A and B are shown apart, each in its own frame.
Chain A
Amino acid sequence: MVKFSDDKINKVNEIIARYPEGKQKSALLPLLHLAQEEFGNWLDVPVMDYVAELLQITPIEVYEVATFYSMYNLKPVGKYMFEVCQTGPCMLRGSDDIIAYIGTKLGIKPGETTADGMFTLKTVECLGACGYAPMMQLGKHFREHLTKEKVDQLIEECRSKAAQNN
């Protein structure tokens, strides 16, 4: 069953209260973020339906939004998602090489996930870190000034974190 904990329900109510009375649909983007974090880092249909129910809107209103914004994952993704920026300013500082290097190292192409479900490689457009390029988003944070050595370290870091959690 897809259901938030009581704790999260309090959070949901607090978010809804930020918007004018009767305009609870405004809470849709924040609630989808919350749901994605809570239910496995992607938005399965039952999850979206649950959010619709919480906000008393129709499921289609949720699907429309979930498909529009690039941060909502509509398919399962790896435990660690490397979202590497490929736009002009990052390209000028070698993002093409970094993307190729990660691909070779993990044996996947952009858009793919490793067979063990550990890593997803995704190319993304400018993340607002152009001065610290090349860069990627990893979870909540940015990893900047990437080099091949740093990529190696990051992959190790993720693997050992995953091993600890198991």
Chain B
Amino acid sequence: MGVKLLLDKAHVEGIRYFDVYRREGGYRSVEKALKEMTPDTIVEEVKKSGLRGRGGAGFPTGMKWSFIAKPEGVPRHLVCNADESEPGTFKDRYLMEFLPHLLIEGLIVSSFALGSNATYIYIRGEYAWIPDILEQAIEEARANGFLGKNILGTGFDCEIYVHRGAGAYICGEETALIESLEGKRGNPRIKPPFPAIKGAWDRPTVVNNVETLAAVVPIINMGGEEYAKIGVGKSTGTKLISACGNINKPGVYEIDMTISVEEFIYSDEYCGGIPNGKRLKACIPGGSSVPILPANLLLKTAKGETRYMNYESLSDGGFATGSMMGSGGFIVLDEDQCVVRNTYTLARFYRHESCGQCSPCREGTGWMEKILKAIDTGKGKMSDIDLLWDIQRRIEGNTICPLGDAAAWPVAAAIRHFRDEFEWHVLNPEESQRRNYGLAHYADAREVVA
């Protein structure tokens, strides 16, 4: 069993309620932080921990916190990003549903570190039952003196509010999220200015993911240095992985980033292998926008080394032969799945979610969806494959926010690694409607794990 820092208490009966959570050692980090530490020493501790943002980009959290501007007399805000809408990702939901007090605890400590007296949780609108759970936890924390005015007699005031979104993936992007919090359409802002200087209501703002803010609790409890000893290299601490697709045990797992991808897929402690004895075809290891990898490149890097479940190893080989940790949304495809159809559904997703501000993204996502649909339904042309490649290349790097890249990468990777499957669809329009290409990509079937 690997180390568990976040989910270790997830199965304690009643852990959703304050009394049980407190009895299990909850809210110690608030006592320690507010009574024994200063905002600056907390930021230092988070820097030492090596914690990287768990929302997808992996930016060092301590460094991000140290950028927040502190102009005299201007309030600052911490905003918790609970928009969780990247296909394949459902880890934050698990944390909020089962361990709401862990998030609230992390939010209080982080609010103190950043000087936020009004902190917001921006939660995707579809998680419609979760605000009730969070609001109950907030009320319990307040009733016990951990929120509100003069917390634990330290003079620190803090309120936490839940703000529900209303269905828009783009609101997960931090500047779109801020616009949405202000009651506007979720159109990303041009940066700079960065939110740390000018964020919500033009005030200095830090936006962090749910899991990032929950991880602050063990960091304060154990100290940044101890936290940094868990894991490997720059992948410190633990990471939540939400596993889905064709596996025996879909769900949310906490890993310490030292296990191999193969162990994660096949061990009974995690995904438990692939149902019905099917073989592994491909995997999108970090949420829908990261590159899909064929089984051989997933389990081993291009150099033939074992691939591990951490930031560095998953991206080994760059986009040519690697992928990314991303949001930790781990999507497994078995031998019966069609990469063309999978890519088409993702392209449809990004077209649906583009805010429409930049023409490469607005037009490009629609165009890619149309072409992929044609190929998927047996109406594609050979030249469409090159056209797709060309479109995705023109989107990448030419837009206001990274949604454009996120839409381009899955298409690029699918063509890069599975071009033969696209060509087969074009050449066999009828047959491709009846059966799948299967594992024909692999010259040597031994490359694929049973």
Supposing A20-B75, A26-B182, A93-B246 touch, asked if A126 and B87 sit within 8 A by C-beta, the answer is yes
Task: Check: A140 CB closer than 8 A to any chain B CB.
Answer: yes
Of A2-10, A74-82, A128-136, A149-157, the segment with at least 4 beta carbons within 8 Å of chain B is A128-136
**In the bound complex, what is the Cα–Cα distance between A32 and B183 (angstroms)?**
10
Query: Taking the nearest CB of chain B, how far is it from the CB of A112, in angstroms?
Result: 19
Contact of B242 among A71, A91, A130 (CB under 8 A): A130
- Contact A127 B126, beta carbon cutoff 8 Å: yes
- Contact B89 A130, beta carbon cutoff 8 Å: yes
**In the bound complex, what is the Cα–Cα distance between A73 and B93 (angstroms)?**
24
Task: Check: A121 CB closer than 8 A to any chain B CB.
Answer: no
Task: Check: A88 CB closer than 8 A to any chain B CB.
Answer: yes
Query: Taking the nearest CB of chain A, how far is it from the CB of B240, in angstroms?
Result: 12
| Interfacial chain A residues near B124, Cβ < 8 Å | 128
| Interfacial chain B residues near A32, Cβ < 8 Å | 166
| Interfacial chain A residues near B84, Cβ < 8 Å | 128
**In the bound complex, what is the Cα–Cα distance between A23 and B341 (angstroms)?**
45
**In the bound complex, what is the Cα–Cα distance between A137 and B128 (angstroms)?**
10
Supposing A70-B167, A91-B345 touch, asked if A130 and B353 sit within 8 A by C-beta, the answer is no
Query: Taking the nearest CB of chain A, how far is it from the CB of B284, in angstroms?
Result: 8
- Contact B166 A91, beta carbon cutoff 8 Å: no
| Interfacial chain A residues near B163, Cβ < 8 Å | 18, 26, 29-30
Of A61-69, A99-107, A158-166, the segment with at least 4 beta carbons within 8 Å of chain B is A61-69
Q: Which of A25, A68, A71 has the most CB of B within 10 A?
A: A68
**In the bound complex, what is the Cα–Cα distance between A72 and B90 (angstroms)?**
23
Contact of A131 among B185, B201, B242 (CB under 8 A): B242
- Contact A128 B127, beta carbon cutoff 8 Å: yes
Task: Check: B258 CB closer than 8 A to any chain A CB.
Answer: no
Task: Check: A109 CB closer than 8 A to any chain B CB.
Answer: no
Query: Taking the nearest CB of chain A, how far is it from the CB of B343, in angstroms?
Result: 8
Task: Check: A28 CB closer than 8 A to any chain B CB.
Answer: yes
Task: Check: A89 CB closer than 8 A to any chain B CB.
Answer: yes
- Contact A72 B183, beta carbon cutoff 8 Å: no
Supposing A131-B90, A140-B128, A141-B129 touch, asked if A92 and B166 sit within 8 A by C-beta, the answer is no
Task: Check: A41 CB closer than 8 A to any chain B CB.
Answer: no
| Interfacial chain A residues near B333, Cβ < 8 Å | 92
When each residue 25-39 of chain A gets 1 if its CB lies under 8 Å from chain B and 0 otherwise, what string results?
111111011000000
Query: Taking the nearest CB of chain A, how far is it from the CB of B391, in angstroms?
Result: 19
- Contact A131 B243, beta carbon cutoff 8 Å: yes
**In the bound complex, what is the Cα–Cα distance between A55 and B303 (angstroms)?**
60
Query: By the criterion of a CB under 8 Å from any partner CB, how many residues of chain A are at the interface?
Result: 41
Supposing A91-B341, A128-B89, A141-B129 touch, asked if A26 and B183 sit within 8 A by C-beta, the answer is yes
- Contact B128 A89, beta carbon cutoff 8 Å: no
When each residue 105-147 of chain A gets 1 if its CB lies under 8 Å from chain B and 0 otherwise, what string results?
0000000000000000000011111111100010111000000
Task: Check: B331 CB closer than 8 A to any chain A CB.
Answer: yes
When each residue 135-168 of chain B gets 1 if its CB lies under 8 Å from chain A and 0 otherwise, what string results?
0000000000000000000000001010111111
Task: Check: B250 CB closer than 8 A to any chain A CB.
Answer: yes
Supposing A29-B180, A33-B125 touch, asked if A131 and B346 sit within 8 A by C-beta, the answer is no
**In the bound complex, what is the Cα–Cα distance between A115 and B184 (angstroms)?**
35
Contact of B183 among A27, A71, A130 (CB under 8 A): A27
Task: Check: B288 CB closer than 8 A to any chain A CB.
Answer: yes
Supposing A88-B288, A130-B329 touch, asked if A125 and B245 sit within 8 A by C-beta, the answer is no
- Contact A87 B346, beta carbon cutoff 8 Å: yes
Which residues of B, 332-389, contact A by the 8 Å Cβ criterion? 333, 337, 341-342, 345-346, 348-349, 352-353, 355
| Interfacial chain B residues near A125, Cβ < 8 Å | 87, 169, 348-349, 352-353
Task: Check: B286 CB closer than 8 A to any chain A CB.
Answer: no
| Interfacial chain B residues near A69, Cβ < 8 Å | 125, 165-168, 186
**In the bound complex, what is the Cα–Cα distance between A86 and B183 (angstroms)?**
28
Supposing A128-B90, A131-B90 touch, asked if A87 and B166 sit within 8 A by C-beta, the answer is no
Contact of B342 among A25, A92, A128 (CB under 8 A): A92
When C-beta atoms are compared, the residue in chain B nearest to A131 turns out to be B250
Pull 13 A–B residue pairs with CB atoms less than 8 Å apart, ordered by A: A65-B184, A69-B125, A71-B126, A89-B244, A89-B245, A92-B246, A92-B331, A93-B244, A125-B169, A126-B169, A128-B127, A130-B89, A130-B331
| A interface residues with partner B (beta carbon < 8 Å) | 18, 20, 23, 25-30, 32-33, 55, 57, 61, 64-65, 68-72, 86-89, 91-93, 125-133, 137, 139-141
